Structure 1
Amino acid sequence: MRILIAEDNNALREGLCDLLAGDGHDCHPAADGLTARALFDAAPFPVVILDVVMPGMDGLSLCRHIRSTAPHSQILILSARGECFDRALGLELGADDYVAKPFDPAELRARIKGMARRAGGPPIGETQFQMDDLWIDPLRLTARRSGEDNIPLNPRELAVLRLLYRHAGIPVSRNTLFDECWGRDYFPNSRALDQYISALRQRIERQPRQPRIIETVRGIGYRYPR
Protein backbone atom coordinates (compact mmCIF):
# COMPACT_ATOMS: atom_id res chain seq x y z
CA MET A 1 0.00 0.00 0.00
CA ARG A 2 1.32 3.48 -0.90
CA ILE A 3 1.62 5.67 2.20
CA LEU A 4 2.48 9.37 2.37
CA ILE A 5 4.35 10.25 5.58
CA ALA A 6 4.46 14.00 6.31
CA GLU A 7 6.67 14.61 9.35
CA ASP A 8 9.30 17.33 9.82
CA ASN A 9 11.38 15.40 12.38
CA ASN A 10 14.00 13.61 10.30
CA ALA A 11 14.62 10.72 12.70
CA LEU A 12 10.93 10.06 13.26
CA ARG A 13 10.12 10.33 9.54
CA GLU A 14 12.83 7.84 8.63
CA GLY A 15 11.80 5.57 11.49
CA LEU A 16 8.19 5.54 10.30
CA CYS A 17 9.28 4.71 6.77
CA ASP A 18 11.44 1.82 8.00
CA LEU A 19 8.72 0.54 10.33
CA LEU A 20 5.97 0.50 7.71
CA ALA A 21 8.20 -0.60 4.84
CA GLY A 22 8.87 -3.69 6.93
CA ASP A 23 5.16 -4.52 6.57
CA GLY A 24 5.41 -4.24 2.79
CA HIS A 25 4.13 -0.67 2.41
CA ASP A 26 5.51 1.73 -0.20
CA CYS A 27 6.39 4.80 1.90
CA HIS A 28 6.87 8.30 0.47
CA PRO A 29 8.34 10.80 2.98
CA ALA A 30 7.81 14.56 3.06
CA ALA A 31 9.60 16.93 5.44
CA ASP A 32 7.08 19.77 5.20
CA GLY A 33 3.44 20.36 4.40
CA LEU A 34 3.89 21.95 0.99
CA THR A 35 6.02 19.05 -0.25
CA ALA A 36 3.45 16.61 1.07
CA ARG A 37 0.64 18.45 -0.69
CA ALA A 38 2.57 18.45 -3.99
CA LEU A 39 3.20 14.71 -3.71
CA PHE A 40 -0.43 14.02 -2.95
CA ASP A 41 -1.77 16.24 -5.71
CA ALA A 42 0.53 14.55 -8.25
CA ALA A 43 -0.93 11.12 -7.41
CA PRO A 44 -3.30 10.73 -4.42
CA PHE A 45 -2.27 8.25 -1.72
CA PRO A 46 -4.72 5.74 -0.21
CA VAL A 47 -3.17 6.24 3.28
CA VAL A 48 -1.64 9.43 4.71
CA ILE A 49 0.17 10.04 8.03
CA LEU A 50 0.30 13.72 9.00
CA ASP A 51 2.17 15.55 11.74
CA VAL A 52 0.26 18.60 12.94
CA VAL A 53 3.12 21.09 13.29
CA MET A 54 5.09 21.32 10.03
CA PRO A 55 6.75 24.16 8.11
CA GLY A 56 5.12 25.50 4.97
CA MET A 57 1.67 24.08 5.63
CA ASP A 58 0.43 22.64 8.90
CA GLY A 59 -1.00 19.14 9.10
CA LEU A 60 -4.56 20.18 9.85
CA SER A 61 -4.72 22.45 6.80
CA LEU A 62 -3.25 19.65 4.72
CA CYS A 63 -5.81 17.24 6.17
CA ARG A 64 -8.60 19.58 5.04
CA HIS A 65 -7.06 19.85 1.56
CA ILE A 66 -6.70 16.07 1.18
CA ARG A 67 -10.21 15.39 2.35
CA SER A 68 -11.66 17.93 -0.09
CA THR A 69 -9.85 16.38 -3.07
CA ALA A 70 -9.74 12.66 -2.17
CA PRO A 71 -12.67 11.67 0.04
CA HIS A 72 -11.67 8.00 0.14
CA SER A 73 -8.08 8.44 1.34
CA GLN A 74 -7.43 7.31 4.91
CA ILE A 75 -5.77 10.00 7.07
CA LEU A 76 -4.01 9.47 10.40
CA ILE A 77 -2.99 12.47 12.51
CA LEU A 78 0.25 12.03 14.45
CA SER A 79 1.08 14.73 16.98
CA ALA A 80 2.46 15.50 20.43
CA ARG A 81 -0.15 18.17 21.07
CA GLY A 82 -2.96 17.79 23.62
CA GLU A 83 -4.94 14.71 22.62
CA CYS A 84 -8.42 16.11 23.14
CA PHE A 85 -7.77 19.21 21.01
CA ASP A 86 -6.10 17.41 18.16
CA ARG A 87 -8.52 14.50 18.03
CA ALA A 88 -11.62 16.68 18.00
CA LEU A 89 -10.33 19.18 15.45
CA GLY A 90 -8.59 16.58 13.33
CA LEU A 91 -11.68 14.41 13.05
CA GLU A 92 -13.77 17.48 12.32
CA LEU A 93 -11.45 18.33 9.42
CA GLY A 94 -11.68 14.82 8.01
CA ALA A 95 -9.01 12.69 9.71
CA ASP A 96 -9.89 9.01 10.15
CA ASP A 97 -7.68 8.30 13.15
CA TYR A 98 -5.29 9.89 15.64
CA VAL A 99 -2.17 8.64 17.44
CA ALA A 100 -0.36 10.71 20.08
CA LYS A 101 3.43 10.91 20.40
CA PRO A 102 5.22 9.03 21.80
CA PHE A 103 3.44 6.01 20.35
CA ASP A 104 3.74 2.24 20.54
CA PRO A 105 5.09 1.00 17.16
CA ALA A 106 2.91 -2.12 17.39
CA GLU A 107 -0.20 0.02 17.90
CA LEU A 108 0.68 2.28 14.97
CA ARG A 109 1.27 -0.73 12.70
CA ALA A 110 -2.12 -2.13 13.71
CA ARG A 111 -3.83 1.21 13.00
CA ILE A 112 -2.18 1.48 9.58
CA LYS A 113 -3.06 -2.12 8.78
CA GLY A 114 -6.74 -1.34 9.41
CA MET A 115 -6.57 1.85 7.37
CA ALA A 116 -4.89 0.06 4.48
CA ARG A 117 -7.63 -2.55 4.55
CA ARG A 118 -10.33 0.12 4.49
CA ALA A 119 -8.54 2.04 1.73
CA GLY A 120 -8.45 -1.23 -0.19
CA GLY A 121 -9.23 -0.21 -3.71
CA PRO A 122 -9.15 -2.21 -6.92
CA PRO A 123 -6.29 -4.56 -7.75
CA ILE A 124 -3.13 -3.40 -9.53
CA GLY A 125 -4.61 -4.31 -12.88
CA GLU A 126 -7.23 -1.57 -12.54
CA THR A 127 -5.62 1.24 -10.61
CA GLN A 128 -2.54 3.42 -11.08
CA PHE A 129 0.84 2.23 -9.86
CA GLN A 130 4.26 3.85 -9.67
CA MET A 131 7.61 2.66 -11.00
CA ASP A 132 10.41 5.01 -9.99
CA ASP A 133 9.04 8.48 -10.94
CA LEU A 134 6.69 7.10 -13.61
CA TRP A 135 2.97 6.64 -13.01
CA ILE A 136 1.15 3.98 -15.02
CA ASP A 137 -2.60 4.23 -15.56
CA PRO A 138 -3.92 0.84 -16.80
CA LEU A 139 -7.43 2.11 -17.48
CA ARG A 140 -6.19 4.84 -19.81
CA LEU A 141 -3.20 2.87 -21.16
CA THR A 142 -0.87 5.75 -20.38
CA ALA A 143 2.22 6.53 -18.33
CA ARG A 144 3.29 9.94 -17.12
CA ARG A 145 5.69 11.96 -15.03
CA SER A 146 4.68 15.04 -13.10
CA GLY A 147 4.60 18.04 -15.41
CA GLU A 148 5.11 15.99 -18.58
CA ASP A 149 2.81 14.75 -21.33
CA ASN A 150 1.21 11.32 -21.19
CA ILE A 151 3.10 8.43 -22.78
CA PRO A 152 0.69 6.08 -24.59
CA LEU A 153 1.07 2.35 -23.88
CA ASN A 154 -0.27 -0.65 -25.73
CA PRO A 155 -1.71 -3.63 -23.77
CA ARG A 156 1.49 -5.67 -24.11
CA GLU A 157 3.68 -2.85 -22.83
CA LEU A 158 1.30 -2.46 -19.90
CA ALA A 159 1.48 -6.21 -19.24
CA VAL A 160 5.29 -6.10 -19.16
CA LEU A 161 5.36 -3.18 -16.72
CA ARG A 162 2.67 -4.67 -14.50
CA LEU A 163 4.48 -8.02 -14.31
CA LEU A 164 7.78 -6.38 -13.37
CA TYR A 165 6.01 -4.20 -10.80
CA ARG A 166 4.36 -7.19 -9.16
CA HIS A 167 7.77 -8.84 -8.84
CA ALA A 168 9.61 -5.68 -7.75
CA GLY A 169 13.20 -6.44 -6.82
CA ILE A 170 13.00 -10.00 -8.17
CA PRO A 171 14.30 -11.00 -11.62
CA VAL A 172 11.56 -12.11 -14.03
CA SER A 173 12.73 -14.76 -16.48
CA ARG A 174 12.38 -14.41 -20.21
CA ASN A 175 10.07 -17.42 -20.34
CA THR A 176 7.79 -15.87 -17.71
CA LEU A 177 7.65 -12.63 -19.67
CA PHE A 178 6.73 -14.50 -22.86
CA ASP A 179 4.14 -16.66 -21.07
CA GLU A 180 2.47 -13.77 -19.22
CA CYS A 181 2.74 -10.99 -21.81
CA TRP A 182 2.71 -12.77 -25.17
CA GLY A 183 0.88 -16.01 -24.34
CA ARG A 184 1.99 -19.57 -23.71
CA ASP A 185 1.68 -20.46 -27.39
CA TYR A 186 4.24 -17.85 -28.36
CA PHE A 187 7.60 -19.27 -29.40
CA PRO A 188 10.32 -17.45 -27.38
CA ASN A 189 12.90 -15.41 -29.23
CA SER A 190 15.41 -13.68 -26.96
CA ARG A 191 16.48 -11.18 -29.59
CA ALA A 192 12.88 -10.14 -30.24
CA LEU A 193 12.33 -9.66 -26.49
CA ASP A 194 15.50 -7.60 -26.09
CA GLN A 195 14.47 -5.37 -28.99
CA TYR A 196 11.02 -4.94 -27.54
CA ILE A 197 12.38 -3.98 -24.12
CA SER A 198 14.90 -1.62 -25.71
CA ALA A 199 12.13 0.20 -27.59
CA LEU A 200 10.02 0.44 -24.44
CA ARG A 201 12.94 1.85 -22.49
CA GLN A 202 13.40 4.57 -25.10
CA ARG A 203 9.89 5.76 -24.34
CA ILE A 204 9.64 5.43 -20.56
CA GLU A 205 13.17 5.78 -19.14
CA ARG A 206 14.76 9.17 -18.54
CA GLN A 207 18.13 7.65 -19.44
CA PRO A 208 17.56 4.46 -21.45
CA ARG A 209 21.22 3.47 -21.19
CA GLN A 210 21.00 3.69 -17.39
CA PRO A 211 17.52 2.28 -16.80
CA ARG A 212 15.81 2.65 -13.46
CA ILE A 213 12.54 0.93 -14.40
CA ILE A 214 13.51 -2.06 -16.56
CA GLU A 215 16.90 -3.42 -15.48
CA THR A 216 18.63 -6.25 -17.35
CA VAL A 217 19.55 -9.30 -15.25
CA ARG A 218 22.11 -11.13 -17.34
CA GLY A 219 21.38 -14.80 -17.96
CA ILE A 220 17.85 -14.51 -16.50
CA GLY A 221 15.70 -11.71 -17.84
CA TYR A 222 14.61 -8.34 -16.47
CA ARG A 223 13.77 -6.70 -13.17
CA TYR A 224 12.21 -3.56 -11.75
CA PRO A 225 14.88 -2.75 -9.14
CA ARG A 226 12.61 -0.53 -7.03
Structure 2
Amino acid sequence: MEPKRKTADLSGKSVLVVEDDPSIAIGLRINLESEGYAVTVAEDGERGLELARSISPDLIVLDVMLPKKNGLEVLHDLRAEGRTMPIIILSAKAGEMDKVAGLELGAEDYVAKPFSLAELLARVRAALRRGAGAAVAPRTKLAIDDVEVDIAGRSVRRAGEPIEMTATEFDVLVCLMNERGRVLSRDDIFRRVWGPNHHGTPRTVDNFIQQLRAKLERDPQEPVYIQTVRGVGYRFGGG
Protein backbone atom coordinates (compact mmCIF):
# COMPACT_ATOMS: atom_id res chain seq x y z
CA MET A 1 0.00 0.00 0.00
CA GLU A 2 1.33 3.44 -0.89
CA PRO A 3 1.60 6.07 1.89
CA LYS A 4 -1.19 8.59 2.11
CA ARG A 5 -0.49 11.88 0.33
CA LYS A 6 -0.74 15.24 1.97
CA THR A 7 -3.19 17.78 0.60
CA ALA A 8 -1.54 21.08 -0.23
CA ASP A 9 -3.34 24.43 -0.04
CA LEU A 10 -2.51 26.15 -3.33
CA SER A 11 -4.55 29.33 -2.85
CA GLY A 12 -2.49 32.48 -3.20
CA LYS A 13 0.37 30.76 -5.02
CA SER A 14 2.10 33.06 -7.52
CA VAL A 15 2.31 32.16 -11.20
CA LEU A 16 4.37 33.98 -13.83
CA VAL A 17 3.07 33.59 -17.39
CA VAL A 18 5.61 34.40 -20.11
CA GLU A 19 3.64 34.46 -23.37
CA ASP A 20 3.73 36.89 -26.31
CA ASP A 21 0.33 35.98 -27.79
CA PRO A 22 -2.07 38.44 -26.10
CA SER A 23 -5.13 36.21 -26.45
CA ILE A 24 -3.38 33.24 -24.84
CA ALA A 25 -1.83 35.41 -22.13
CA ILE A 26 -5.18 37.01 -21.24
CA GLY A 27 -6.95 33.65 -21.22
CA LEU A 28 -4.32 32.13 -18.95
CA ARG A 29 -4.42 35.11 -16.58
CA ILE A 30 -8.22 34.99 -16.25
CA ASN A 31 -8.37 31.25 -15.69
CA LEU A 32 -5.40 31.05 -13.35
CA GLU A 33 -6.76 33.93 -11.28
CA SER A 34 -10.12 32.17 -11.13
CA GLU A 35 -8.23 29.25 -9.53
CA GLY A 36 -6.98 31.59 -6.80
CA TYR A 37 -3.43 32.20 -8.07
CA ALA A 38 -1.69 35.56 -8.12
CA VAL A 39 -0.72 35.99 -11.78
CA THR A 40 1.94 38.17 -13.42
CA VAL A 41 2.35 38.28 -17.21
CA ALA A 42 5.44 39.05 -19.30
CA GLU A 43 5.32 39.45 -23.08
CA ASP A 44 8.93 38.62 -23.97
CA GLY A 45 11.77 36.47 -22.69
CA GLU A 46 13.92 39.25 -21.30
CA ARG A 47 11.06 40.67 -19.23
CA GLY A 48 10.10 37.17 -18.14
CA LEU A 49 13.62 36.45 -16.91
CA GLU A 50 13.72 39.78 -15.08
CA LEU A 51 10.41 39.10 -13.33
CA ALA A 52 11.35 35.52 -12.47
CA ARG A 53 14.45 36.84 -10.72
CA SER A 54 12.70 39.68 -8.92
CA ILE A 55 9.45 38.09 -7.73
CA SER A 56 10.53 34.41 -7.48
CA PRO A 57 7.11 33.01 -8.45
CA ASP A 58 5.93 29.63 -7.20
CA LEU A 59 5.54 28.45 -10.81
CA ILE A 60 6.27 29.69 -14.34
CA VAL A 61 4.27 28.96 -17.49
CA LEU A 62 6.82 29.66 -20.23
CA ASP A 63 6.29 29.85 -23.97
CA VAL A 64 9.22 28.77 -26.17
CA MET A 65 8.87 31.08 -29.17
CA LEU A 66 9.32 34.47 -27.52
CA PRO A 67 10.77 37.79 -28.73
CA LYS A 68 14.11 39.06 -27.37
CA LYS A 69 14.98 35.79 -25.59
CA ASN A 70 13.41 32.41 -26.29
CA GLY A 71 11.88 30.27 -23.59
CA LEU A 72 14.60 27.61 -23.60
CA GLU A 73 17.22 30.31 -23.02
CA VAL A 74 15.17 31.68 -20.13
CA LEU A 75 14.83 28.17 -18.69
CA HIS A 76 18.57 27.54 -19.04
CA ASP A 77 19.46 30.82 -17.31
CA LEU A 78 17.10 30.23 -14.39
CA ARG A 79 18.32 26.68 -13.76
CA ALA A 80 21.96 27.78 -14.12
CA GLU A 81 21.29 30.33 -11.36
CA GLY A 82 19.98 27.57 -9.10
CA ARG A 83 16.32 28.66 -9.25
CA THR A 84 14.16 25.59 -8.70
CA MET A 85 10.56 26.77 -9.10
CA PRO A 86 8.47 24.48 -11.34
CA ILE A 87 8.49 25.59 -14.99
CA ILE A 88 5.90 24.36 -17.49
CA ILE A 89 6.90 24.83 -21.12
CA LEU A 90 4.32 25.83 -23.74
CA SER A 91 5.24 25.26 -27.36
CA ALA A 92 3.72 24.86 -30.81
CA LYS A 93 6.55 22.39 -31.42
CA ALA A 94 5.17 19.03 -30.33
CA GLY A 95 8.01 16.82 -31.59
CA GLU A 96 9.65 14.36 -29.21
CA MET A 97 13.08 16.02 -29.50
CA ASP A 98 11.61 19.42 -28.62
CA LYS A 99 10.06 17.95 -25.49
CA VAL A 100 13.31 16.24 -24.60
CA ALA A 101 15.23 19.51 -24.99
CA GLY A 102 12.90 21.30 -22.56
CA LEU A 103 12.94 18.51 -20.00
CA GLU A 104 16.71 18.12 -20.16
CA LEU A 105 17.08 21.83 -19.40
CA GLY A 106 15.03 21.34 -16.24
CA ALA A 107 11.39 21.93 -17.17
CA GLU A 108 8.86 20.19 -14.93
CA ASP A 109 6.41 19.62 -17.75
CA TYR A 110 5.83 20.31 -21.45
CA VAL A 111 2.47 21.19 -22.99
CA ALA A 112 2.03 21.38 -26.76
CA LYS A 113 -0.09 24.08 -28.41
CA PRO A 114 -2.99 24.06 -29.04
CA PHE A 115 -3.65 22.81 -25.53
CA SER A 116 -6.65 21.96 -23.41
CA LEU A 117 -7.07 24.67 -20.78
CA ALA A 118 -8.45 22.15 -18.28
CA GLU A 119 -5.41 19.92 -18.79
CA LEU A 120 -2.98 22.83 -18.37
CA LEU A 121 -4.68 23.93 -15.14
CA ALA A 122 -4.48 20.36 -13.88
CA ARG A 123 -0.76 20.26 -14.65
CA VAL A 124 -0.24 23.58 -12.87
CA ARG A 125 -1.98 22.19 -9.78
CA ALA A 126 0.07 18.99 -9.93
CA ALA A 127 3.36 20.88 -10.27
CA LEU A 128 2.49 23.20 -7.38
CA ARG A 129 1.51 20.25 -5.19
CA ARG A 130 4.86 18.62 -5.91
CA GLY A 131 6.59 21.86 -4.98
CA ALA A 132 4.59 21.96 -1.75
CA GLY A 133 5.63 18.45 -0.84
CA ALA A 134 2.38 16.69 -1.71
CA ALA A 135 4.00 13.87 -3.64
CA VAL A 136 6.39 12.50 -1.07
CA ALA A 137 5.93 10.05 1.74
CA PRO A 138 5.26 11.40 5.25
CA ARG A 139 8.72 10.48 6.53
CA THR A 140 11.05 13.17 7.75
CA LYS A 141 14.53 12.13 6.62
CA LEU A 142 16.25 9.59 4.39
CA ALA A 143 19.95 8.76 4.37
CA ILE A 144 21.72 6.24 2.17
CA ASP A 145 25.51 6.29 2.17
CA ASP A 146 26.45 9.96 1.77
CA VAL A 147 23.13 11.06 0.25
CA GLU A 148 20.89 12.73 2.84
CA VAL A 149 17.36 13.96 2.19
CA ASP A 150 15.35 16.19 4.51
CA ILE A 151 11.79 15.59 3.31
CA ALA A 152 10.14 18.26 5.45
CA GLY A 153 12.71 20.84 4.38
CA ARG A 154 12.86 19.48 0.81
CA SER A 155 16.64 19.62 0.79
CA VAL A 156 19.33 17.22 -0.39
CA ARG A 157 22.98 16.85 0.59
CA ARG A 158 25.69 14.62 -0.75
CA ALA A 159 28.79 14.21 1.40
CA GLY A 160 27.52 17.18 3.43
CA GLU A 161 27.28 19.51 0.44
CA PRO A 162 23.85 20.92 -0.54
CA ILE A 163 22.48 19.84 -3.94
CA GLU A 164 19.98 22.15 -5.63
CA MET A 165 17.00 20.30 -7.10
CA THR A 166 13.72 21.14 -8.77
CA ALA A 167 10.51 19.95 -7.13
CA THR A 168 10.12 17.04 -9.52
CA GLU A 169 13.76 15.97 -9.30
CA PHE A 170 13.34 15.88 -5.53
CA ASP A 171 10.18 13.78 -5.70
CA VAL A 172 11.69 11.28 -8.15
CA LEU A 173 14.71 10.90 -5.85
CA VAL A 174 12.53 10.34 -2.76
CA CYS A 175 10.38 7.86 -4.69
CA LEU A 176 13.49 5.80 -5.50
CA MET A 177 15.11 6.14 -2.07
CA ASN A 178 11.93 5.07 -0.30
CA GLU A 179 12.15 1.81 -2.25
CA ARG A 180 15.90 1.26 -1.94
CA GLY A 181 16.95 -1.95 -3.66
CA ARG A 182 13.55 -2.45 -5.29
CA VAL A 183 13.26 -1.95 -9.04
CA LEU A 184 10.59 0.55 -10.08
CA SER A 185 9.34 0.65 -13.64
CA ARG A 186 8.93 3.95 -15.43
CA ASP A 187 5.16 3.52 -15.01
CA ASP A 188 5.65 3.04 -11.25
CA ILE A 189 7.64 6.26 -11.02
CA PHE A 190 5.19 8.17 -13.19
CA ARG A 191 2.18 7.05 -11.15
CA ARG A 192 3.79 7.92 -7.82
CA VAL A 193 5.30 11.27 -8.77
CA TRP A 194 3.05 12.71 -11.47
CA GLY A 195 -0.21 10.93 -10.69
CA PRO A 196 -2.35 8.52 -12.72
CA ASN A 197 -3.85 11.08 -15.10
CA HIS A 198 -0.64 12.70 -16.31
CA HIS A 199 0.17 12.22 -19.99
CA GLY A 200 3.89 11.67 -20.44
CA THR A 201 6.32 9.24 -21.99
CA PRO A 202 8.98 6.91 -20.58
CA ARG A 203 11.49 9.37 -22.00
CA THR A 204 10.26 11.95 -19.49
CA VAL A 205 11.29 9.68 -16.60
CA ASP A 206 14.61 8.94 -18.31
CA ASN A 207 15.36 12.66 -18.52
CA PHE A 208 14.79 13.20 -14.81
CA ILE A 209 16.99 10.18 -14.03
CA GLN A 210 19.76 11.72 -16.15
CA GLN A 211 19.39 15.02 -14.30
CA LEU A 212 19.59 13.30 -10.91
CA ARG A 213 22.66 11.32 -11.94
CA ALA A 214 24.38 14.51 -13.11
CA LYS A 215 23.81 16.02 -9.67
CA LEU A 216 24.41 13.01 -7.41
CA GLU A 217 26.80 10.60 -9.08
CA ARG A 218 30.54 11.12 -9.08
CA ASP A 219 30.55 9.54 -12.55
CA PRO A 220 27.10 9.70 -14.19
CA GLN A 221 28.26 7.19 -16.80
CA GLU A 222 28.95 4.65 -14.03
CA PRO A 223 26.11 5.31 -11.57
CA VAL A 224 26.37 3.90 -8.06
CA TYR A 225 23.13 5.26 -6.65
CA ILE A 226 20.56 5.40 -9.44
CA GLN A 227 20.98 2.14 -11.29
CA THR A 228 19.35 0.95 -14.50
CA VAL A 229 17.88 -2.53 -14.61
CA ARG A 230 17.59 -3.16 -18.34
CA GLY A 231 14.12 -3.93 -19.57
CA VAL A 232 12.58 -3.21 -16.17
CA GLY A 233 13.34 0.27 -14.79
CA TYR A 234 15.43 1.92 -12.08
CA ARG A 235 16.45 1.30 -8.48
CA PHE A 236 18.37 3.23 -5.84
CA GLY A 237 21.42 1.26 -4.78
CA GLY A 238 24.47 2.44 -2.87
CA GLY A 239 27.22 0.81 -0.88
**TM-score w.r.t. length of structure 2:** 0.49
Hey, what does 2:84 align to over in structure 1? 72
Pick from 31, 39, 52: which aligns with 1:27? 39
Contact 2:94 2:113 in 1 (8 A): no
Q: Indicate how the Cα distance of structure 1 residues 85 and 13 shifts in structure 2: closer, same or farther if over 3 A, else same.
A: same
Work out the CA distance in 2 between the residues paired with 1:71 and 1:6. 16
Hey, what does 1:112 align to over in structure 2? 124
Task: Report the 3-state secondary structure (helix = DSSP H, G, I; strand = E; otherwise coil) of the residue aligned with 2:107.
Answer: coil
Contact 1:6 1:30 in 2 (8 A): yes
- Aligned 1:136-175 pairs, distance under 5 A: none
Report % sequence identity.
37
**Offset from partner CA, 1:130-166 (integer Å, 9 cap, x none):** xxxxxxxxxxxxxxxxxxxxxxxxxxxxxxxxxxxxx
**Offset from partner CA, 1:94-144 (integer Å, 9 cap, x none):** 1010000111111111100011112228xxxxxxxxxxxxxxxxxxxxxxx
Rg larger in 1 or in 2?
1
**Offset from partner CA, 1:67-110 (integer Å, 9 cap, x none):** 22244210100010133122100001110100001111111111
Gaps of 5+ in 2: 1-12, 134-239
Q: Which gives a bigger RCO, structure 1 or 2 (Cα 8 Å, sep 6+)?
A: 2
AA aligned to 1:35 is R
Work out the CA distance in 1 between the residues paired with 2:114 and 2:93. 11
Structure 2 residue 54 is the aligned partner of structure 1 residue 42: yes
Work out the CA distance in 2 between the residues paired with 1:81 and 1:107. 18
CA RMSD of aligned residues (A): 1.3
The Cα of 1:41 is off from its aligned counterpart by 1.2
Contact 1:60 1:90 in 2 (8 A): yes
**Count of residues in Structure 1 that have an aligned counterpart in Structure 2:** 121
Task: Report the 3-state secondary structure (helix = DSSP H, G, I; strand = E; otherwise coil) of the residue aligned with 2:67.
Answer: coil
Hey, what does 1:153 align to over in structure 2? none
Structure 2 residue 99 is the aligned partner of structure 1 residue 87: yes
Contact 1:77 1:90 in 2 (8 A): yes
Contact 1:2 1:25 in 2 (8 A): yes
Work out the CA distance in 2 between the residues paired with 1:49 and 1:77. 6
Q: Indicate how the Cα distance of structure 1 residues 23 and 70 shifts in structure 2: closer, same or farther if over 3 A, else same.
A: farther
Work out the CA distance in 1 between the residues paired with 2:94 and 2:84. 27
Contact 1:3 1:28 in 2 (8 A): yes
Task: Report the 3-state secondary structure (helix = DSSP H, G, I; strand = E; otherwise coil) of the residue aligned with 1:49.
Answer: strand
Pick from 71, 75, 90: which aligns with 1:63? 75
AA aligned to 2:39 is C
Task: Report the 3-state secondary structure (helix = DSSP H, G, I; strand = E; otherwise coil) of the residue aligned with 2:114.
Answer: coil
Hey, what does 2:26 align to over in structure 1? 14
AA aligned to 1:39 is L
Hey, what does 1:102 align to over in structure 2? 114
Work out the CA distance in 2 between the residues paired with 1:58 and 1:93. 13
Structure 1 segments of 4 or more deviating over 4 A?
A: none
Work out the CA distance in 2 between the residues paired with 1:23 and 1:83. 30
Task: Report the 3-state secondary structure (helix = DSSP H, G, I; strand = E; otherwise coil) of the residue aligned with 2:88.
Answer: strand
Hey, what does 1:213 align to over in structure 2? none
Q: Indicate how the Cα distance of structure 1 residues 35 and 71 shifts in structure 2: closer, same or farther if over 3 A, else same.
A: closer
